[in-house]
A = this chain, B = another copy of it.
């Protein structure tokens, strides 16, 4: 019997223990030496796939062999998001306490669809999102729920907005309804592509999304929003929701949420605040203004996996009207009906995904490990580094800063044409020490330096600046014939 169990069960626990200790040592070494890898992977398209067999093995293999392939084949194809020279997109951190928590989540393998399948996961989620809500200064009237990504959080927010605006939309949908005009959702021209994907998915159509002009600091112009709403209304559209962004993806600009909120209130529109990246900064004294007006919003998304040191994926949606999300999605088949000793929250009722991973554990451990004070200090340090870099750019004759720096991202370009800036970015990234990404601002190719990894120090930012300057000089130098 025990032979058969061993043969047909899971990996032997003693083998797991040995291999897991090996993996832990590898991870600890990796955390201490991630800066020795090229931050941006240098493999060619197709190289990883070509190195792997086309069929699963017929017989099981020892872990050593898989781990050896992981190191030999897969590691060269890793772009190191935990590298101190990762300055692309939004720079993030899979912090050590978060990794420890994730190890426990994986081992417990809790599936948090119902309270009874996961009392701790369900209630710790409530506690952890309440902690974060208070740190950010949001009112307790916001109920929070954890999803995987901001795309899914925003999707649920706009589904709730649709539920609020269109009678019986859950039952009847949108087609063949003379009583339902075409719907409109508003955001700035700098808002995130997840909003486009949400309106498409929700059956409103991409044309439902009207992008509002920004001022010269990339912030939505409230008067333009009001005018668009008036125009649409008189043309028979039904305005449904506005998405204001606190920390846009290109420049981290902050829309004037308070003004936008007043317009929403006047017209009865759902206000969703996309604070996925920058929302956490509201916990810093002096930065409360970024969420002014957001306390009266209907929903707000913030991603601890962005600038709160939590391993990917963990997004929090706060909603003052979670009843509408439940109204839109709660649906209990016979096989999931449960009766508990007291009313409970079943996470499956707050969204499309039935199953939920035990994600709150990592948010809770990250918040406790660093403490509110420790998190504030780290965010402040990232902003200090960004300001420092911005000053270097400003002081340089060869570079131009292209946008204000409210948080930890700097947008800039070499004072040259787009082609040179593109070559500059490619050359800098090819070096392996740093990885920056780009955007387009005022229709010009623009470089972005984003700070958000806990390993990034002033020395790394200075090195990035040195590499940019040197490479720019090399590219501008007259080519010797």
Binary per-residue interface labels of chain A (1-21) against chain B in the complex, 1 for a CB within 8 Å, 0 otherwise: 100110111110111110111
In the complex this chain forms, how many copies of it are found?
A: 2
A77 contacts B by Cβ under 8 Å: yes
CB distance from A333 to the nearest CB of B (A): 5
Residue total for A at the interface (Cβ-Cβ under 8 A): 179
Closest 8 CB pairs of A and B: A203-B203, A173-B205, A94-B109, A77-B120, A11-B96, A60-B371, A17-B28, A56-B131
A278 contacts B by Cβ under 8 Å: no
- Cβ-defined contact, A124 with B52, below 8 A: yes
- With a cutoff of 8 Å between Cβ atoms, the chain B residues found around residue A305 in the complex are 355
- Cβ-defined contact, A148 with B353, below 8 A: yes
Q: Which of A41-49, A253-261, A266-274, A396-404 participates in binding chain B?
A: A41-49
CB distance from A285 to the nearest CB of B (A): 13
A135 contacts B by Cβ under 8 Å: yes
A427 contacts B by Cβ under 8 Å: no
CB distance from A229 to the nearest CB of B (A): 18
- With a cutoff of 8 Å between Cβ atoms, the chain B residues found around residue A344 in the complex are 45
In chain A, positions 51-94 with a C-beta closer than 8 Å to chain B are 52, 54-61, 63, 65-66, 70, 73-82, 88-89, 92-94
Contact among B52, B109, B120, B335 with A92 in the assembled complex (CB-CB below 8 Å): B109
A433 contacts B by Cβ under 8 Å: no
- Cβ-defined contact, A354 with B194, below 8 A: yes
CB distance from A355 to the nearest CB of B (A): 5
- Cβ-defined contact, A56 with B372, below 8 A: yes
Other than the given A59-B374, A66-B368, 12 more pairs (CB < 8 A) read A15-B96, A23-B103, A24-B103, A49-B126, A56-B131, A56-B372, A57-B372, A88-B117, A194-B352, A200-B328, A201-B201, A335-B438
Q: Give the distance in Å from the alpha carbon of A199 to the alpha carbon of B457 in the complex.
A: 49
- Cβ-defined contact, A43 with B151, below 8 A: no
A466 contacts B by Cβ under 8 Å: no
- Cβ-defined contact, B355 with A204, below 8 A: no
A454 contacts B by Cβ under 8 Å: yes
Q: Give the distance in Å from the alpha carbon of A50 to the alpha carbon of B92 in the complex.
A: 32
Contact among B10, B169, B313 with A357 in the assembled complex (CB-CB below 8 Å): B313
- Cβ-defined contact, A343 with B45, below 8 A: yes
CB distance from A152 to the nearest CB of B (A): 6
Closest partner residue, chain B, to A60 (CB atom):
B371
A297 contacts B by Cβ under 8 Å: no
Closest partner residue, chain B, to A354 (CB atom):
B151
Assuming the contacts A107-B99, A335-B438, asked whether A74 and B21 have C-beta atoms less than 8 A apart, the reply is: no
Assuming the contacts A103-B20, A196-B331, asked whether A205 and B15 have C-beta atoms less than 8 A apart, the reply is: no
A155 contacts B by Cβ under 8 Å: yes
